[in-house]
Structure 1
């Protein structure tokens, strides 16, 4: 396993880092089985993206609330510890999980975006762990605009299903990254099962379609550190899917937002 200090430095500088071989075969098998269950029993927030009849990009949220397999991963896998250590936090609190499956031949891009403007969350210690259970070469894996988490700007989210902008946020539109890729430091890695990418909530990222023969199944788990707070923004908000009974500025806590890892416990 690569040195965590080096990964943390890359995360701080670029907004994203890759960790190699940090999830063993037993965790990958559990996630594969959990994904199979989720595809057979989609939840209330599931969506299929793309033109009618050609929806080859599937997403779902909050699987851990209805699946013991996803819950086991959240509570017992290395994910919480890795998130906490990379964020430089003494705790890692779970926000939500997200499933992203691109079937072979999918042309649907994951649009360039920042995560945090979709969420009612403030703070710098906010991260995601992107864990594929299939080979994800860099031409189909998640890509990042290096250093964009330091731009100091939040940009308006858009709906993945149809590209329409969120309403009432007052945020500006994100620059057209794809049209001007040569202007940016685009980071991408070949990611194998067992590897994961950890990235900060404000880094700009997106992903190509999946024209290859193999599936691209990914579990993303979202984590909050010591400085993260509930902060309901103006206008539309996607996450949490049910707004919590928390005062503005409060830390996330309670059964829906378990603190899974504490540095003092290791």
Structure 2
């Protein structure tokens, strides 16, 4: 298991987010190339998140690690997967999926506040996402509400552009953390730094009003207690035909174990 300072593990447990400097530094150039290839050949889940007439371009895509070796190499890096194990306090780490998010210069569209967990068909307390900028970020960095992973009710999952509910349920309305005075964490980051956060941590990001691109790569991992959960509609990612039932562990052939204490 990657050795992390105790205060980092404590911060992750308390706040639901912590920054790990340089964790992906050795993968930046390869991931930049993979993102370019991904944008040139988008997968079936790719989306453009700007409305007609809005400035800039906000592209995202996910579940492409099997198409681009650099993404899989990052997920299988023992230092990265080991850091996931340490933060989750888990004996094993499975790759859930990857996510690419690119905001071109002058993009006004923000990433709306959301928790990842309610969109997924997996639940558990041992989860972690790494959000990794491939360009220096300041104002367009990831923003997270400290302690939101411990809220007693999940936040309503919505579609990013229309803001319509993803599916019905007993959800907390999407808050406005700035207006409501919630404790927001954000860091200036260099390429290869990583914000680690729980699937249940509320997060978002401003638009990119700078003259430089903001390319980000994300990896999502699950640990020992992750299990399939039923949702009232198709999840995101949907993973059609996965064949698992509520309460099952994630199948290894689709969601490989990338680190194990054994």
TM-score bracket relative to the smaller structure: over 0.9
Partner of 1:147: 147
8 A Cα contact 1:159 1:165, kept in partner: yes
* Residue aligned with 1:63, SS: coil
SS of alignment partner, residue 127 of structure 1: strand
The answer on whether the counterparts of 1:19 and 1:196 sit within 8 Å (CA) in structure 2 is yes
Matches within 5 A, 1:9-28: 9-25=10-26, 27-28=27-28
8 Å contact from structure 2 (residues 61, 99) kept in 1? yes
Q: State the distance in 2 between where 1:2 and 1:89 align.
A: 13
Query: Matched residues in 2 for 1:165 and 1:247: separation?
Result: 24
Which residue number corresponds to residue 175 of structure 1?
A: 175
TM-score by length of 2: 0.93
Q: CA deviation at 1:244?
A: 1.7
Asked if structure 2 preserves the Cα contact closer than 8 Å seen for 1:169 and 1:233, the reply is no
Instruction: Give 1:109's aligned residue.
Output: 110
SS across alignment from 2:190? coil
Q: Distance in 2 between matches of 1:144 and 1:11?
A: 12
What is the aligned partner in structure 2 of residue 32 from structure 1?
32
Q: Which whole-Å CA distance do the structure 1 matches of 2:24 and 2:99 have between them? A: 18
| Structure 1 counterpart of 2:212 | 214
Helix, strand or coil: the match of 2:65? helix
CA distance in 2, matches of 1:243, 1:81: 30
| Counterpart contact for 2:177–2:184, Cα < 8 Å | no
What's the TM-score once normalised by structure 1's chain length?
0.92
For the 8 Å contact 1:122–1:228, the answer to whether it is kept is yes
Q: Structure 1, unaligned stretches of length 5 or more?
A: none
Q: CA deviation at 1:236?
A: 4.1
Contact kept, 8 Å, 1:169 with 1:235, in 2: the verdict is no
1:15 Cα offset (Å): 0.4
Structure 2 partner of 1:228: 226
Q: CA deviation at 1:73?
A: 2.3
How far 1:74 sits from its partner (Å)?
2.0
CA deviation string 1:131-190 (max 9, x = no partner): 1111011x211111111111121121001132211133342422233433xx21111111
User: 1:24, 1:41 → 2: CA distance?
Assistant: 25
**Which residue pairs with 2:198 in the alignment?**
200
Please give the secondary structure, in 2, of the residue aligned with 1:260. Answer: strand
Would the aligned equivalents of 1:169 and 1:236 in 2 still touch at CA under 8 Å?
A: no
Moved more, 68-77 or 140-149: 68-77
Larger fraction in helix = 1
How far is 1:64 from its partner?
1.0
- Given that 1:2 and 1:19 are in contact with CA atoms closer than 8 Å, whether structure 2 keeps it comes out as no
- Deviation by residue 1:62-90 (Cα, 9 ceiling, x = unmatched): 11132223222222363221111111111
2:121 corresponds to which residue? 120
Contact 1:2-1:20 at 8 Å conserved across structures: no
Q: Residue 241 of structure 1 corresponds to which residue in structure 2?
A: 239
Work out the CA distance in 2 between the residues paired with 1:220 and 1:237: 18
Distance in 1, Cα, partners of 2:137 & 2:261: 31
